[in-house]
Amino acid sequence: MRTTTQPHPLAPADVERILRSLVPPNVAVAALEIEEASRRAEFAAGRECARVALARLGQEAGDIGMEADGAPAWPAGIVGSLSHSQGLAAATVARSEDLAGLGLDLVRARPLPRGSEELFCTAPEARWLRQVPDPERDLMTLILFSAKESVQKGARYLLGRLPEAHEIELRLVAEEPVFTATVESCDRHVWRGRHAFDGAFVFTAATGLRSR
């Protein structure tokens, strides 16, 4: 039996506009709606987003393979990231000569279970969250979670593995949609990112800057 996903309230072009606001100008983005609720449809939509983004970067896409851990195997000289969540898929790509790493995450807005922040927050991050006023705390917790996912995806290609959440130290600014991060065993790179919330989804993107 085929099931369909709930349509995202924004068109893919509007989602791409949000994505472009999160990344530097030398990053190409793409977004698609996922019409069928299945892992196969999510996989296909993610790969199609990757091909569109690569074409916008002026890069021949070819077949986008898969690493042993399931991460996309990007063409030589390319860094990128895929994400999908409940009816929406997106991709960001850039040239590795411009960025050391690139991570993207999108997640449907929802309160996380109480106490779940202990699974992904460091002690300083948990203290920061406790200082956030109650009306904003659920959203900021989800943003922090998503931002760490972005950094994990970006750092995976530098480390050869997905870093654990507690290996990442994230610093959010409550008044601005920005964050910075450091990653253990990857401290020569600075991670900077931005986040957005459209009322339905949280979007986060992290870029790894090359050390000079």
State residue 79's pLDDT score: 95
Give tens-digit pLDDT for 117-174: 889 999 999 999 999 998 899 999 999 999 999 999 999 988 889 999 999 999 998 7
Query: Could you give the CA distance from residue 59 to residue 78 in angstroms, rounded to a whole number?
Result: 9
Query: Could you give the CA distance from residue 1 to residue 174 in angstroms, rounded to a whole number?
Result: 44
Query: Could you give the CA distance from residue 91 to residue 12 in angstroms, rounded to a whole number?
Result: 12
pLDDT at 10 over 80: no
pLDDT band for position 36 (cuts 50, 70, 90): confident
SS (H, E, C) 62-106: CCCEECCCCCEECCCCEEEEEEEECCEEEEEEEECCCCCEEEEEE
Q: List, in order of start, the domains of the chain with CATH numbers.
A: 12-207 (3.90.470.20)
Query: Could you give the CA distance from residue 77 to residue 201 in angstroms, rounded to a whole number?
Result: 31
pTM for the whole thing? Answer: 0.91
pLDDT band for position 196 (cuts 50, 70, 90): very high
Query: Any idea which residue has 């472009």 for tokens?
Result: 20
Which has the higher per-residue pLDDT, 138 or 35? Answer: 138
Give tens-digit pLDDT for 95-117: 999 999 999 999 999 888 888 88
